[in-house]
Amino acid sequence: MQALLSVSDKTGIATGGTAKLLAEAGLPVTEVAEVTGFPEMLDGRVKTLHPRIHGGLLARRDLPAHMAALQQHGIATIDLLIVNLYPFAQATARPDCTLEDAIENIDIGGPAMLRAAAKNWQDVAVVIDPVDYARVLTELKAGKIERATKFMLAKKVFAHTAAYDGMITNYLTALADGSEGSTASVPQRAEYPAVLSVQLAKTQELRYGENPHQSAAFYRDAKPAPGTLAHWTQLQGKELSYNNIADADAAWECVKTFDAPACVIVKHANPCGVAVGGTAAEAYSKAFKTDPTSAYGGIIAFNQPLDSAAAGAIVGNQFVEVVIAPSITPEARTAFAARQNVRLLEVPLSKQGNALDYKRVGGGLLVQGADAKNVQASELRVVTKLQPTHEQMQDLLFAWKVAKFVKSNAIVFCAGGMTLGVGAGQMSRIDSARIASIKAENAGLTLKGSAVASDAFFPFRDGLDVVCDAGATCVIQPGGSMRDDEVIAAAAERGIAMVFTGTRHFRH
């Protein structure tokens, strides 16, 4: 048997570098240059691109014409190929990586050999992943590499080279014109690629999907954006479920938009309590008061380190599935020691997030820029003669941040840096307003003097009348309805202040 090895990851173990390592280990080695009759050329860009290599990989042993051609040209068969590719992902992950660095980390000869060997999988065993070395060695010692193993290895190669090319495509697509510093983090309309390449690696099988009769797995982005949930470290608890991950993502994306210590409690992907406070414990206490019933079995996220005070409050208050924070103190972990099923996750905090948002539809994928717009006070337009006070403006901005993460139609009542009532997911905006009011009443919270956010405009005055009847004194909404004048007049009639954001936050 003749094997060719060309690896950048020499774990578990030929071009020059690999040959040197093997020779030092006392193994008989022939360098590729001796086989091809050519030295490495063009600063190493040309090493294995030669008929003596590819002929040995591609020749079918069951075809006499192929074997005769090899004999005629003095080419030996290659029965085992072990290759791993230039570390393009690692190189481009470095903050100081230039376009030139990235280009030099694009492997050419490696993928060519891998694909050749995988195409001829019945005759050549091809190994791309060091994790497979042990299996291949075991079978070699037993006499032969099994057909099923060869086929599995070939499939793995094609998946790997496809992902590798996809990474390169995505990196280059994000560069506006090939010049340094021209990275575009969020594509404009004309910059969505003609073919979308997404690289995802399965990191864990899940017990089941959204429902027990559905199977599921979690796939991690090859290069997840900073601050996204995929960077989690689980400190304790049962395995995460499909619904745990979906709800945890909603909670984490919401909580990291706040600067002050904040807590978000999520149930079925909707915030049921959100608050800011002087400490994590205070923020949690306020968030829990919004809807203690819905908080049961929920997901709790913090944008501050989770300390013993906040952990103790959670343990004393409720049953919880997942708790997420940038860090969790040893004292906080001790507080959860008696609740070993509770999943504790640490996620590095960053306000960055995914540049693109994906939604699966039958036979296709909807792709859009992420809803990363955060309205500032200076961007708001007061449309009533009555101006909101400074305190009201703070409540309006808080309510608006929360409304972005509530399923449409969304109505959110807030006051004093906490949600008072959340109406989510109704087909009618007026029904969402009524539900939010009922939620506050059930929790024993008054809406008198509250601020209200609506994720989209009020098409008629009826929804506005409902929130005013509940006690709201100021409203924030996008505006843009054909009946804006009617709604503004209704606000003036009811004696409330109203501001327009000019930005809608539908969430489906």
The single-letter DSSP state of residue 183 is: B
Sheet of 125-127, strand order: 3-6, 80-83, 125-127
- For residue 323, what are its two tokens? 């708790």
Q: Could you tell me which residues come within 8 angstroms of residue 443 by beta carbon, excluding any fewer than 6 positions away?
A: 289, 290, 291, 292, 293, 420, 421
Say if CB 130 and CB 12 are below 8 A apart: yes
DSSP helix/strand/coil, 451: strand
> Is residue 268 among the annotated active site residues?
yes
The active-site residue out of 20, 66, 268, 289 is 268
Say if CB 475 and CB 496 are below 8 A apart: yes
d(CA 1, CA 26): 18
Give the number of other CB atoms < 10 A from CB of residue 178: 8
Phi, psi values for residue 382, rounded to 5°: -75, 120
DSSP helix/strand/coil, 420: strand
> Is residue 73 among the annotated active site residues?
no
The active-site residue out of 10, 119, 231, 289 is 119
Phi, psi values for residue 360, rounded to 5°: -80, 130
| Peptide bond just before 84 cis, omega within 30 deg | no
Say if CB 407 and CB 401 are below 8 A apart: no
d(CA 58, CA 239): 45
The single-letter DSSP state of residue 388 is: P
Pairing of strands 411-415, 364-369: unpaired
Say if CB 307 and CB 284 are below 8 A apart: no
Residues annotated as part of the active site: 119, 268
